[in-house]
Amino acid sequence: MSTAARNDIDWGNLGFGYIKTDYRYVCRYKDGKWDEGGLESDATITLSECACVFQYSQSVFEGLKAYRTEDGRIVCFRPDLNAKRMADSATRLEMPPFPEEKFIEAVKMVVKANEAFVPPYGSGATLYLRPFMIGTNPVIGVKPAEEFEFRIFVTPVGPYFKGGAKPIVVKISDFDRAAPHGTGNIKAGLNYAMSLYPIVKAHEEGFAENMYLDPQTRTKVEETGGANIIFITKEGNLVTPKSDSILPSITRRSICYVAENYLGMKVEHREVFFSEVPGFEECGLCGTAAVISPVGRIYDHGNIINFPAGMEEMGPVTKKLYDTLTGIQMGRIEAPEGWIVEIDK
Ligand SMILES: *Cc1c(COP(=O)(O)O)cnc(C)c1O
């Protein structure tokens, strides 16, 4: 049985912010190999001012959650896919991939050590895990670092939607997120640095997110700054945009599986032209943080697309997908083999 959640934290009212917890996992790479790795209590990092991460942004990251299930277990959702994706991201930025088995061990170790910070079942809050890797030695001529640090810290985060998931309004961005053959398909800090200006502008204009189109033709839907997009057709099919510059969301891939195998829906993973969008019934953004946020309206330079479900609630098909996937995550619905990884085992 796991240790209970701390009783000095107001779990229901946590936001999505950083709270320092007791332990973080740290593993260092030097002379061509990873060291043993283990838990540390220091939440700060001291590095040379010339470390590669500071000068040339050699940095990749992941995001996943641990939570308590109805029957009191502490689990993670598909951490093997985070391990794999982080290795792919690292390879693209000339960093040594962190061994995938070791990644899972590190996840278990750091959650176990911070067990009291895993929010209680039913609070809606979860423990967010942030694995990341940076180039640490001084580099001034442009080249990859030779020394790296892999870390996972954890922070409890509140329920993404307080008082239900209200549909949001997104805008078609005039900026581009990721070039063809660029780095859009990896989880790297650099993709977020350049998205800050557009998201601040979008927020100032009253929009929740930017929806990016493909930079080459500006005719196809890509994704938002930090979430993939799903659409539901009039026939009740699930459509998700396919492009080499979209980040392969684990939530989106899980939703596709659930749609096909639990709900008997037809799934189309293909190029999606923006001109088709007004014909869709429902739209949502998907990622680890919110699972699915419903989109009620898209604003495109004065043209407005309103989805039939309106601005009050999630569309019915999106809701079914959301309930099924969160039911699987929370242990209320039987999960496909290997999706739920117990921390104690
Ligand atoms: C992390 C991320 C997502 C969501 O991926 P999940 O694995 O579902 O959390 C989507 N788009 C971008 C650009 C991301 O960085």
The 10s digit of each residue's pLDDT in 69-124 is: 988 999 999 999 999 999 999 999 999 999 999 999 999 999 999 999 999 998 98
The residue contributing the CA closest to ligand 1 atom 1 is 226
Q: What is the mean pLDDT of residues 223-228?
A: 96
pTM of the entire predicted model: 0.97
Q: For position 86, which CATH number holds?
A: 3.30.470.10
Check whether 161 has a pLDDT greater than 80: no
Task: Check whether residue 318 and residue 273 sit in a common domain.
Answer: yes
Q: Cα–Cα distance between 93 and 109 in angstroms, integer?
A: 27
> Among 135, 157, 179, which residue terminates a domain?
157
Q: For position 197, which CATH number holds?
A: 3.20.10.10
Using 50, 70 and 90 to split pLDDT, how confident is the model at 12? confident
Q: Cα–Cα distance between 307 and 317 in angstroms, integer?
A: 13
Q: What is the mean pLDDT of residues 21-30?
A: 98
Query: Which atom number of ligand 1 is nearest to the Cα of residue 286?
Result: 8
Q: What is the mean pLDDT of residues 31-45?
A: 98
The 10s digit of each residue's pLDDT in 177-215 is: 999 999 999 999 999 999 999 999 999 999 999 999 999
Task: Check whether residue 125 and residue 196 sit in a common domain.
Answer: no
The residue contributing the CA closest to ligand 1 atom 3 is 227
At residue 188, the pLDDT reads 98
> Among 131, 157, 183, which residue terminates a domain?
157
The verdict on residue 340 lying in a domain is no
The verdict on residue 335 lying in a domain is no
Q: What is the mean pLDDT of residues 229-249?
A: 98
Name the E strands within the chain: 24-30, 33-34, 38-40, 59-61, 64-68, 74-77, 126-135, 148-157, 168-172, 209-211, 228-232, 238-241, 267-270, 282-287, 291-300, 303-306, 340-342
The 10s digit of each residue's pLDDT in 315-335 is: 999 999 999 999 999 999 999
Task: Check whether residue 130 and residue 184 sit in a common domain.
Answer: no
- The sign of the torsion formed by the CA atoms of 44, 50, 55, 61 equals negative
The 10s digit of each residue's pLDDT in 280-304 is: 999 999 999 889 999 999 999 999 9
Higher-confidence residue of 290 and 151: namely 151
At residue 3, the pLDDT reads 84
At residue 333, the pLDDT reads 96
Residue to mutate (ligand 1; options 86, 88, 247; most atoms within 8 A of CB):
247
Task: Check whether residue 279 and residue 200 sit in a common domain.
Answer: yes
Check whether 230 has a pLDDT greater than 70: yes
The verdict on residue 239 lying in a domain is yes
Task: Check whether residue 103 and residue 211 sit in a common domain.
Answer: no
Query: Which atom number of ligand 1 is nearest to the Cα of residue 225?
Result: 13
Q: How far is the first Cα of the chain from the last one, in angstroms, to the nearest whole number?
A: 12
Task: Check whether residue 105 and residue 30 sit in a common domain.
Answer: yes
Check whether 345 has a pLDDT greater than 70: no
Task: Check whether residue 142 and residue 199 sit in a common domain.
Answer: no
The verdict on residue 29 lying in a domain is yes
Q: How many structural domains does the chain have?
A: 2
Question: Under DSSP, is residue 17 helix (H, G, I), strand (E, B) or coil?
Answer: coil
The verdict on residue 15 lying in a domain is yes
The residue segments making up the domain with residue 176 are 168-329
* 319 counts as catalytic: no
The verdict on residue 40 lying in a domain is yes
Q: Cα–Cα distance between 252 and 230 in angstroms, integer?
A: 8
| CB 89, CB 57: distance < 8 Å | no
The verdict on residue 162 lying in a domain is no
Regarding the beta carbon of 241 and ligand 1, being less than 6 Å apart is answered no
The 10s digit of each residue's pLDDT in 246-270 is: 999 999 999 999 999 999 999 999 9
Q: What is the mean pLDDT of residues 45-63?
A: 98
The 10s digit of each residue's pLDDT in 139-148 is: 999 999 999 9
The verdict on residue 337 lying in a domain is no
Check whether 163 has a pLDDT greater than 80: no
Task: Check whether residue 20 and residue 130 sit in a common domain.
Answer: yes
Task: Check whether residue 287 and residue 186 sit in a common domain.
Answer: yes
The 10s digit of each residue's pLDDT in 119-138 is: 999 898 999 999 999 999 99
Residue to mutate (ligand 1; options 92, 249, 339; most atoms within 8 A of CB):
249
Alpha helices in 138-238 (DSSP H): 189-193, 196-204
Q: Nearest 5°: phi and psi at 115?
A: -50, -35
The residue to which tokens 């080459």 are assigned: 216
Using 50, 70 and 90 to split pLDDT, how confident is the model at 2? confident
